[in-house]
Structure formats: C-alpha cells, structure tokens
Amino acid sequence: MGTGLKCIVLSLFLSTLLFPLVFSVSNDGLVRIGLKKMKFDQNNRLAARLESKEGEALRASIKKYKFHGKLREGEEPDIVALKNYMDAQYFGEIGIGTPPQKFTVIFDTGSSNLWVPSSKCYFSVPCFFHAKYKSSQSSTYKKNGLLSVPALTPCSYRVSLLDSRVGEDLLSVSFGGNFIYQNGNLSKGKPAEIHYGTGAISGYFSTDHVKVGDLVVKDQEFIEATREPSITFLVAKFDGILGLGFREISVGGAAPVWDNMVKQGLIKEPVFSFWLNRNADEGEGGELVFGGVDPNHFKGKHTYVPVTQKGYWQFNMGDVLIGGKETGYCGAGCSAIADSGTSLLAGPTPVITMINHAIGAAGVVSQQCKTVVEQYGQTIMDLLLAEAQPKKICSQIGLCSFDGTRGVSMGIESVVNDKNNGRMGGLHDGGCSACEMAVVWMQNQLRQNQTQDRILDYVNELCERLPSPMGESAVDCGRLSSMPKVSFTIGGKVFDLSPDEYVLKVGEGAAAQCISGFTALDIPPPKGPLWILGDVFMGRYHTVFDSGNLRVGFAEAA
C-alpha cells in the first residue's frame, strides 16, 4: 500500500466516531443490546462530506415471518435492539468468534447469508471504514473448504500479486479475489459472491461461532468479504449483513444463522419478529425478537398469510388502493415479500406511477411514453372498449413482439432471474413498455367511468410522473397534509399508510428534502409482478416471521 494511500486511510479513520456498545438486562429477563444514534457534526468537514454522499446513496437505493402460542413459563424470547438511521436503515450488533469480534449488521429478511469484511480485504476502500473479522484472533475459527497449493517463494518484505497489485509488510494478502497467501502457501477458499440492489461483495466462506444477543450459534458458516467495490458500502453505517431468509436462496447453500439457531435448540419457538421505530428523534431504533413477540410492540391482533414460496418471505397480496380507490392492478392477486433489508416500498412501475401522480411526486418526463399515448392512445382505448384482451393489445398494434404476458419491464434490470431475461427480443423495448403501462392506466380509469378525453389527459399526466431510473421521486414537504392514504390488501384486510409514513425526510429546515417512499421495480413472470414491502411498511406494521408454520403476520405497530 502506497504511503499516500496509508495517510488518507489513517486520516479517515481518525475522523470517524466510535460509539460504545451498551449492554443491559431488563427486569423482564430479556437481554437487550442498547445502541446510540449516530449524529454527524456539521462543523466537521469530513462528516459533512460523508453526509452528502449518504444522501446520494439513500436516493440511489430508493435501491438487494406470528407467534401463535405463548412462551413457556420462565422463558423469554431473545431480543436484539435495532438502530434507525435516517429512517432508511435499521441495524444491530453481533459478535463473531471467541472472544466475540463485534460487527454492526443489517438484519435482512430479503437475503440468507451472513457476511462481514475480512481482515484480508486490502484493496476495497469500504473495508477501511468498518470492523474486519480476524480469524487469527478467534479460538473457534475453522477453515471452510480451503485447498492449499504451492505458492511463490515467500519473501519477508514484499509480495507481488499476479494482478499487479502490491502488498507491503503483510503476513497474508489478498490474491485474485479468493486466494489467500499465508505462511508460504497459496490457499483458495470456497468462493462467494452476492449481488444486492445497490452493490455487490465477494470473498470466501469461513466457519466460527456467532453471538446474537445472548445466544451463541456454534459453527456458523459465513462469508469473509475481501472485495466491497460499491460506494454504498463506503458510506454505509453497517459492517455487514445477516440474512434471515430461507436456505433456498442462500449463496453456496450455507445454512442461515436463523436455521442454525432453531436447529441448535437456542429458542423454543421458530418465530422472530420486527418492531421498527419510525420516530428518528427517539433513541431506540427498534427491536428484533427471536423466539416470540413482545406484546408492547403492537396493537390488536396480527393478520396472517401463508408463505407461498420459500426463499424469500413471500406471500399473496390483494389490491392496492390510492385514497381509498382500488387501482385494479392486483385485483386478481400479486406476490409480495416482507423485506427488512429494503428501505422503501417497491412495486410495478404502472402502479408506482399512479401513486406518484396522486401524491405529486416529480419523476422523469418520458417523451417516449407521451409519444406512444399520442400515436396509439385512441386505438388502445377503442380496443379496451371493444373488450379486447388487455394483455394482447400491445402486440395487436405492433408495439410488442409477444402477447404481453411478461409484465412491464421499463428496461429495468431485475436482480431476480436477471441472467435469463437480459437478452430476449423486445424485452426492454421502451415503446412496448409504455404501451403496456398505458393499457393498465386506461383500464383503471374506465372502471371509474371517466370520459375518453379525461382518460387520455390523465395518461399523459402519468407519463410525466414516471420514476427516474434510480428510483428517486421528490415530493413537496409542505404538501403532506393534502396527500392521500395508500393502502395494501393483505389477508383480506386493508393496511393503510399515511403521508407521514410513506414520505422520507432528508435534512432539516430550509435544506430539508422529501422523497417518496415508493420506488419502481419490475420483475417479469413467473417471478413477477412482485411487491417488496420494506421498512416503509414494516415501520408502520409490526411483522412476525413464523418459520414453523410458514406464515407472515402483520399488526399495527405500537
């Protein structure tokens, strides 16, 4: 590592703030990990610069479950306190190794692996800003699938890597991403790579004990990340991610921490629950409870829906309502995922655009969309009035080369099944996507008995409300009181979100900006269309994940 880079890294480390981990045992017998909120010193130039980048990262990411019984007498669920960062990230702390090495992680129900930065991560800047796992300092560490092969002749001072990178004064250095140079041998670990909506990490698997609250999960397989190339991880307030999804989506087939927690008998009930505190002014960010629920976290009873596909915590959802009026998009049902690792609430572009229009969110003007409406709007209208099959209209008028059964793509590359969908003819054609959206919008207006002229004007207005490619849609902070409720039908019950609950506020005073909590995500069949109910929704509704009965429960959060 060059002298200049060392100086930069050193200065950045000296500029960061360290926050102590506070342990307390409440009088109800629950183990709680208290976390303090991270606040930036506006007079600190580095802090101000990072705060600005965090705002950019937040906008860019705007991006990668009931307990039916009672706890037995004398038994209490285990609790991990969560910290709220700008209403956009909730994270807590765990320990890995013996003695435990502390890491701040996002508890993510939308993924299944545990990963933290490795001490062998030398060439990714984000690693210098976060805690790193040191296997040499743990008495319970176990190598995982390492294959040793002869290495270059060891030298005590400098080791040159085949990819032209240089490590100086290092006992072990990264080699080609998944190779480790150690004690004169070149070892290759079981490789791992994970792609999220806003970044990717790569590294290799290791095995060690993991402490979550006061529970110790033995021999847990996890990923030591040796590369974190995304700026998302540079400005993140977490070191790694602990996935709470199913093993079916685990990279490398590794058993998730939650699975091992149940298998090792550390909890009595295979249930965990999330309470996310959306009040950013309060010190407590929320709680993740393993083994049951805290009755102080919710009001009334939970509404349960069965998990329809193991992997994610996926279930069937009914229609979406704007201001109490049905959109009709999910009238026949849509799939949804409860995802604690997603900040916002993501859904198909046609409905998100309708929501943005209703709340006055400003997106990117799509001239292509308006052109399609101008040239084909009346034809689409006539075909709908003639009761033509809506899914076939766009192919009938020549804008799509198929029968419209794939769902709207808008050219957005989905992280779900993207390898199979990237090169199909016409899949990302903008005219086809604009036509499909126009059909959905017109159907909705026809159900409301609007005039043809009003419908065409409305569709043109929606074209102007299309979200930006990065998902950002700004709203006027002063108009929250006039915005409508947005509601979701789950298990036959309507769950409302008010403007205060679906709008994110960044900054204070005159510099404050408000961002719509809804972002577009288009996933084609058979996996889509799909809704992702992230922290915007889970902050309003206490969420229970019941792996024993394969169901998810929602109740009003206290």
Whether 450 and 524 share a structural domain: no
Rg of the chain taking only CA atoms, in angstroms: 25
pLDDT tops 50 at residue 344:
yes
What's the rounded mean pLDDT across residues 44-50?
A: 31
More confident residue, 325 or 410: 325
- pLDDT greater than 50 at residue 437: yes
473 within a domain of the structure (yes/no):
no
Instruction: Report helix, strand or coil for 288.
Output: strand
Per-residue confidence (pLDDT) for residue 203, from 0 to 100: 94
Q: Do 484 and 545 belong to one domain? A: yes
Which residues fall within 8 angstroms of residue 247, CB to CB, at 6 or more apart?
Answer: 112, 253, 254, 255, 256, 259
| pLDDT value of residue 511 | 67
Q: How confident is the model at residue 180 (pLDDT cuts 50, 70, 90)?
A: very low
Report if residue 303 sits inside a domain.
Answer: yes
If asked whether residues 451 and 386 sit together in one domain, one would say: yes
Contacts of residue 419, Cβ cutoff 8 Å, sequence gap at least 6: none
Out of 402, 430, 463, pick the residue that ends a domain. 463
Q: Which residues of 339-354 are buried (b: 16+ CB within 10 A; e: fewer)?
A: bbbbbbbbbbbbbbbb
Over residues 97-113, the mean pLDDT reads 94
Q: What pLDDT digit, counting tens, does each position of 455-496 carry? A: 999 888 888 777 655 556 778 888 899 999 999 999 999 999
Report how far apart, in Å, the C-alpha atoms of 299 and of each of 74, 100, 294 are.
Answer: 24, 36, 11
Q: Which amino acid is at 287?
A: E
Same structural domain for residues 376 and 456?
yes
The pLDDT value recorded for residue 379 is 92
Reply yes or no on whether the pLDDT at 205 is more than 60. Answer: yes
Checking if the pLDDT of 444 tops 50, the result is yes
Same domain, 510 and 543: yes
Residue 279 scores a pLDDT above 50 = yes
Hey, what are 265's tokens?
């008998």
First-to-last C-alpha distance (Å) of the chain: 51
pLDDT of residue 73: 40
pLDDT confidence of residue 207: 97
Give pLDDT, residue 47. Answer: 31
In a domain, 286, yes or no: no
Whether 352 contacts 467, CB under 8 Å: yes
Residues 75-91 pLDDT 10s: 455 666 665 554 556 78
Provide the angle, in degrees to the nearest 10, between the axes of the packed helices 349-359 and 430-447. Answer: 60
Percentage of the chain beyond pLDDT 70 is 66
Task: With a cut of 90, say whether residue 274 has pLDDT above it.
Answer: yes
Q: Does residue 6 lie within any of the structural domains?
A: no
The mean pLDDT value for 428-444 works out to 81
Catalytic residue among 87, 108, 208, 294: 108
Range of 65-79, 158-172, 206-220, 376-390 with top mean pLDDT: 206-220
Q: How confident is the model at residue 189 (pLDDT cuts 50, 70, 90)?
A: low
**pLDDT surpassing 60 at residue 58:** no
The pLDDT value given to residue 355: 92
pLDDT for residue 34 is more than 60: no
- pLDDT of res. 396: 85
Q: Which of 339, 522, 535, 546 is catalytic?
A: 339
The pLDDT confidence band at residue 415, using thresholds 50, 70 and 90, is: very low
Per-residue pLDDT averaged across 193-218, rounded? Answer: 88
Q: What are the backbone dihedrals phi and psi of residue 7, each rounded to the nearest 5 degrees, phi first?
A: -65, -40
Across the range 121-136, mean pLDDT stands at: 93
pLDDT for the residue numbered 36: 32
Question: Is residue 409 pLDDT above 60, yes or no?
Answer: no
Asked if residue 28 has pLDDT above 70, the reply is no
Residue 506 counted as domain residue: yes
Residue range 316-322: mean pLDDT, rounded = 96
* CATH number of the domain within which 328 lies: 2.40.70.10
Active site residue 500: no
Residue 363, pLDDT score? 58
333 shares its domain with 408: no
Q: Is 108 a catalytic residue?
A: yes
Q: Given a cut of 90, is residue 552 above it in pLDDT? A: yes
Percent of the chain with pLDDT over 90: 38
Helix (H) or strand (E) holding 233: helix 231-235
Per-residue pLDDT for 253 more than 90?
A: yes
Considering the domain architecture, whether residues 433 and 491 belong to the same structural domain is answered as no
- Write out pLDDT tens, residues 226-240: 998 877 787 788 899
Mean local confidence (pLDDT), 180-186: 44
Q: Looking at the structure, tell me whether residues 396 and 449 fall in a common domain.
A: yes
Q: Is residue 308 part of a domain?
A: yes
pLDDT at position 402 is 64
Confidence at residue 99, expressed as pLDDT on a 0 to 100 scale: 98
Same domain (yes/no): 515, 441? no
Number of separate domains in the chain: 2
User: Is 395's pLDDT higher than 50?
Assistant: yes
What is the pLDDT of the chain when averaged over all its residues?
A: 74
Separation of alpha carbons 176 and 189, rounded Å: 11
The answer to whether residue 270 scores a pLDDT higher than 90 is yes
Last residue of a domain, one of 412, 430, 463: 463
Mean pLDDT of 99-120: 94
pLDDT at 388: 84
On whether both 532 and 504 belong to a single domain, the answer is: yes
Q: Indicate the residue among 432, 463, 494 that finishes a domain.
A: 463
In a domain, 426, yes or no: yes
Higher-confidence position of 188 and 198: 198
Q: Once rounded to an integer, what is the mean pLDDT over residues 369-376?
A: 83
Q: Let me know whether 429 and 513 are in one domain.
A: no
Least confidently predicted of 131-140, 321-330, 400-409: 400-409
Range of the domain at 393: 367-463
Q: How confident is the model at residue 148 (pLDDT cuts 50, 70, 90)?
A: very low
pTM of full prediction above 0.75: no
Segment among 248-257, 359-368, 507-516 with least mean pLDDT = 359-368
514 pLDDT band, cuts 50/70/90, is confident
**Residues 457 and 489 placed together within one structural domain of the fold:** no
Both tokens of 483, joined, read: 């915005």
Mean pLDDT, to the nearest integer, of 378-387? 91
Whether 397 is in a domain gets the answer yes
